[in-house]
């Protein structure tokens, strides 16, 4: 069986040599990918070709529905082709018409795959360039039969071709598919908790990917379940935005006998085409850090009108990153949870959803909903440089609404960032991979649920805090004779709009002050009012004077209104108090020793629980695994600097010589 994916993909991609000159590089994939799918379908149907053609002849008089069932039965697959043609038998004349007729002879689902590739337009372009016959013959020689390339490796070939296509057209390859080692890890984590249930005879489960790409997660889910229990059945569901990725996913599911009517084309966030479905397992690798401006109206409308009856009840993240929207979408797809039944989710996200957004923000409220409803089971930190289009840190989130008793109210963090092997040859930004041994070790760490140097268990509340607002009193010192301050006052636009006589009266009143500095706002106001006599001082004008003539001074008297101390907005601060700790005890211990005149603003309360302080949640993953590295010895640093200095001097000497 062919397992050298790169060699086979290179063989197929070599067709690009024929296209060079007549087509742009960005067009190669749009020709090569559908031809690859066509050749694969052709090879899959080859063993039953004769039976299909015989059935075509014998069923001409039957109604379409009955005939379709008999043809499917004859093919032994979820699709068929009623044409005697194949890529090696298109002839040298009328090749375009023959190829078009051949594709149209596929059953409806298979035919739609080529429609999403816009294959008819590609046929016309190749025919105009007089290359259609040569390209067709080239593909006819490639053995893509299941005996030569099984479904798993065929999926890898598709992905390698898409990667090359993306590179040649400067597209973002990571938007189309996820590396198979990451797919395998995520799938194993999600399924591992249910191994006993899945091993039972006759079990039927459903799996869903809202960002299906080429179907990697769906395929891997089927492979995992088949290895565990060949008699089990996994119904696959998915939705994909990119038409070409969708076409490949649909073709892959078709070959594997899945109901491809469950694979949808469209934007999951704005147009959920499986709105009323719930699934046992959900897997996804949504695009990292991609904004959701294009679907903002639809998302906000759903959030406003449906609240918790829709997908986005907990809150909305900032428009610049839609990752958490996909997570909430998946949560809405979970089956109702009980002790024995429910759903599990595996989703790959970058670091931002762990901590972006303070207390009360959309991101924090989403994390709050997940943790307070005990949905987060585990987080696994992956190594960097694991994806084709980015080297950033990424994390696998595992969620469940039917945790076993020992996991309830807890979250497992696994730091697998150093558990990787170098790739012999980099693929884009992917320079590392997870070996089978590492995959097993990570899944074992998850299953054992024991603490170690790279695995830690926390209560869900450990990630929550209450943000209290700390106020300090307004204490103002006034400088009525300060030349610079008076100049700035008179340059202010609000001052220039005053009546001239009022300006003169105020300046004269300030000049009458005997003190250069007053440490009381009340005294300043009383003296100013007395000096002005019958001239009234409007509140906005007094505020203008305060802005220019006063500044905070700890030695000054506290400014009060109706007997209550006024806070200084410029000195306002926030403190994050761990959930479960009394905010007043915390304040007494952590704040008052440093600022004895501070107080908590008890008017700032959480909208959900009504208590003082706004509740927030963040998961500072790296902080929990931080290991102190002592600084290098100064002598060693000095030695390195001396060595560099000598090298520089040597280079300069060579330049001048």
pLDDT digits (tens, 9 = 90+) for 262-277: 999 999 999 999 999 9
| Model-wide pTM > 0.85 | no
Structure confidence at residue 166 (pLDDT): 65
Q: How would residue 237 be classed by pLDDT, with cut points 50, 70 and 90?
A: very high
- One DSSP character per residue, 573-641 reads EEEEEETTS-HHHHHHHHTTTT-TT-EE-TT-B-TTT--BBEEEE---HHHHT----PPPPHHHHHHHH
Starting from the edge strand earliest in sequence, which strands make up the sheet with 376-381, in order? Answer: 263-265, 233-240, 204-209, 281-284, 344-350, 394-400, 376-381, 410-415, 455-459
Are 83 and 102 within 8 A, CB to CB? yes
- pLDDT band at 173, cuts 50/70/90? very low
Higher-pLDDT residue of 252, 272: 272
pLDDT at 509: 94
pLDDT digits (tens, 9 = 90+) for 286-330: 988 889 999 999 999 999 999 999 999 999 999 999 999 999 999
In this prediction, residue 160 carries a pLDDT of: 77
Q: How far is the C-alpha of 307 from the C-alpha of 438, rounded, in Å? A: 42
Architecture of domain 172-462: 3-Layer(aba) Sandwich (3.40)
How is residue 610 written in tokens? 């009504």
Q: What residue segments make up the domains of the chain, in order of their start?
A: 1-168, 172-462, 476-565
Predicted local confidence at residue 1, as pLDDT: 44
DSSP per-residue codes, 432-496: EE--HHHHHHHHHHHHHT--BTTEEEEEGGGGEEEEEEEE-B-BEEE-TT-HHHHHHHHHSHHHH
**Mean pLDDT of the chain, nearest integer:** 90
**pLDDT given for residue 168 in this prediction:** 62
Task: Give the pLDDT score at 174.
Answer: 45
pLDDT in tens, 569-618: 999 999 999 998 999 999 999 999 999 999 999 999 999 999 999 999 99
Q: How far apart are CA 291 and CA 323, in angstroms?
A: 9
What are the distances in angstroms from CA 233 to CA 152, 201, 228, 397? Answer: 17, 10, 11, 25
Spatial separation of the C-alpha atoms in residues 593 and 459, rounded to whole Å:
30
Alpha-carbon gap, residue 634 to 626, rounded angstroms = 24
């Amino acid at each position: 069986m062919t397992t050298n994916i790169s060699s086979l993909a290179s063989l197929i991609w070599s067709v690009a040599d024929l296209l060079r000159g007549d087509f742009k590089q960005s067009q190669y994939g749009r020709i090569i990918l559908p031809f690859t799918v066509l050749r694969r379908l052709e090879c899959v149907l080859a063993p039953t070709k004769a039976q299909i053609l015989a059935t075509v002849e014998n069923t001409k008089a039957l109604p379409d529905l009955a005939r379709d069932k008999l043809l499917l039965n004859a093919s032994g697959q979820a699709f068929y082709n009623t044409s005697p043609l194949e890529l090696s038998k298109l002839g040298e004349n009328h090749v375009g018409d023959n190829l078009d007729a051949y594709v149209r002879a596929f059953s409806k689902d298979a035919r739609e795959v080529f429609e999403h590739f816009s294959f008819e337009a590609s046929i016309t372009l190749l025919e105009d360039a007089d290359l259609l016959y040569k390209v067709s013959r080239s593909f006819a020689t490639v053995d893509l039969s299941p005996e030569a390339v099984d479904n798993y490796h065929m999926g890898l070939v598709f992905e390698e071709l898409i990667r090359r296509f993306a590179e040649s057209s400067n597209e973002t390859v990571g938007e189309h598919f996820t590396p198979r080692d990451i797919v395998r890890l995520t799938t194993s984590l999600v399924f591992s908790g249910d191994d006993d249930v899945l091993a039972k005879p006759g079990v039927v489960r459903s799996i869903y990917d809202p960002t299906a790409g080429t179907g990697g997660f769906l395929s891997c889910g089927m492979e995992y379940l088949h290895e565990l229990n060949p008699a089990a059945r996994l119904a696959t569901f998915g939705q994909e935005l990119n038409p070409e990725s969708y076409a490949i996913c649909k073709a892959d599911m078709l070959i594997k006998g899945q109901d491809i009517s469950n694979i949808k084309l469209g934007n999951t966030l704005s147009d959920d085409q499986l709105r009323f479905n719930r699934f046992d397992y959900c897997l996804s690798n949504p695009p990292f850090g991609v904004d959701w401006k294009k679907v903002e109206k639809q998302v906000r409308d759903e959030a406003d009108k449906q609240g918790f009856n829709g997908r986005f009840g907990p809150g909305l993240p900032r428009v610049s990153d839609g990752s958490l929207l996909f997570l909430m979408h998946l949560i809405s797809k979970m089956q109702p949870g009980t002790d024995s039944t429910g759903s599990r989710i595996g989703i790959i996200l970058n670091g931002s959803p762990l901590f972006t957004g303070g207390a009360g923000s959309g991101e924090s409220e989403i994390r709050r909903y997940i943790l307070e409803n005990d949905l987060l089971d585990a987080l696994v930190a992956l190594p960097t440089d694991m994806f084709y289009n980015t080297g950033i840190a990424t994390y696998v989130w595992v969620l469940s609404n039917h945790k076993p008793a020992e996991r309830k109210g807890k979250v497992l963090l696994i730091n697998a960032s150093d558990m990787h092997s170098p790739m012999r040859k980099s693929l884009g930004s992917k320079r590392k991979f997870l070996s089978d041994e590492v995959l097993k070790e990570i899944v074992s760490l998850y299953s054992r649920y024991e603490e170690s140097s790279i695995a830690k268990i926390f209560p869900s509340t450990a990630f929550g805090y209450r943000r209290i607002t700390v106020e300090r009193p307004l204490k103002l010192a006034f400088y009525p004779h300060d030349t610079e301050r008076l100049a700035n006052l008179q340059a202010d636009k609000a001052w220039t709009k005053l009546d001239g006589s009022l300006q003169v009266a105020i300046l004269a009143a300030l000049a009458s002050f005997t003190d250069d500095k007053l440490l009381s706002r009340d005294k300043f106001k009383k003296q100013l009012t007395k000096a002005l006599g019958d001239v009234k001082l409007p509140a906005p004008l007094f505020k203008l004077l305060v802005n220019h003539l006063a500044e905070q001074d700890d030695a000054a008297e506290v400014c009060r209104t109706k007997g209550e101390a006024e806070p200084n907005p410029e000195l306002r601060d926030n403190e994050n108090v761990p959930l479960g700790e009394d905010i007043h005890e915390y304040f007494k211990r952590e704040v008052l020793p440093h600022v004895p005149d501070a107080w908590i603003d008890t008017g700032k309360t959480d909208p959900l629980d009504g208590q003082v302080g706004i509740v927030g949640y963040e998961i500072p993953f790296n902080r929990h695994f931080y290991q102190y590295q002592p600084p290098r010895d100064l002598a060693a640093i000095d030695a390195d600097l001396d060595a560099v200095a000598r090298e520089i001097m040597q280079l300069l000497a060579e330049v001048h010589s």
